[in-house]
Structures are given as structure tokens and as C-alpha cells.
């Protein structure tokens, strides 16, 4: 993983990112490209697509989870996930949106209540 800072046009400021490197060697069927992971995903995110990582915010949270990166610096709430049924932490992003830290499912969030999207 390479650490970097990039300008995010959605929140109009520099943000910390990690860039996962593609595995070395030849690839035949499935090619793994480098992925950008925003470390500052949160309520300041303004759209349905991250301009840096070309992914929905819940997919960005999924990348954090998949890579085993701590979500400690992100704002979270605890609720039962409507998809996996586990009581889990949800990372809050955008306006009224959250993503399960267990399965990555996107959900609507309203004052400690999470609903399926």
C-alpha cells in the first residue's frame, strides 16, 4: 500500500488515501488493478460516486474492510444490519447514509436507526 494525499473535488480539500498495488506476475482471466482507498470517507462526502476511487461510498467502505484497514477515525453508529442481520457498526457518510462494517451493505441512517436502501 502506498500512502498519498489527493485533492477531492467532492469535498473541496486534500484527503488521505491509500493505493493498493496490483499483485506481481502475469494475469490470465481476472486482472487486479490498483485500487484507491479514501481514508476520510464520511459525512462530508457529497455524491453517489467518489471522484477519486470511482466507486460508491459504500464500496469505498467495503475496500477499507477488505484490506483490514481500521475504521477508528470514521464516524460510526451501532445497529442491526438489514442485510446480514448482525449487530454491527455502520460507517456514516453523505447525508443520512451508512455502510455496514461486516458486509458493506448500504443503508439509510436516521438518528440511531438503520434501514435498507
**Number of domains, the chain:** 1
Q: In 3-state terms, what secondary structure has residue 80?
A: strand
| Residue 96 near residue 108 (C-beta atoms within 8 A) | yes
Q: What's the pLDDT score for residue 52?
A: 85
- pLDDT tens-digit profile of 83-113? 999 999 988 887 788 888 888 888 887 765 6
| Residue 5 near residue 16 (C-beta atoms within 8 A) | yes
Range of the domain at 25: 2-116
- 72, exposed or middle or buried, with CB in 10 Å at 0-12, 13-18, 19+? exposed
- pLDDT tens-digit profile of 27-67? 554 444 567 888 888 877 877 788 888 888 888 888 888 88
**What sign does the dihedral 38-42-44-45 (CA atoms) show?**
positive
Amino acid at each position: 500500500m502506498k500512502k498519498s494525499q489527493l485533492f477531492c473535488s467532492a469535498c473541496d480539500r486534500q484527503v488521505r488515501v491509500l493505493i493498493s498495488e496490483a499483485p506481481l506476475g502475469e494475469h490470465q482471466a481476472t486482472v487486479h488493478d490498483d485500487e484507491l482507498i479514501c481514508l476520510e470517507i464520511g459525512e462530508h462526502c457529497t455524491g453517489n460516486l467518489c471522484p477519486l476511487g470511482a466507486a460508491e461510498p459504500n464500496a469505498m467502505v467495503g475496500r477499507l474492510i477488505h484490506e483490514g484497514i481500521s475504521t477508528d477515525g470514521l464516524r460510526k453508529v451501532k445497529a442491526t444490519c438489514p442485510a446480514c442481520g448482525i449487530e454491527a457498526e455502520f460507517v456514516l457518510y453523505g447525508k443520512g447514509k451508512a455502510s455496514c462494517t461486516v458486509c458493506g451493505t448500504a443503508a439509510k441512517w436516521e438518528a440511531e436507526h438503520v434501514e435498507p436502501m
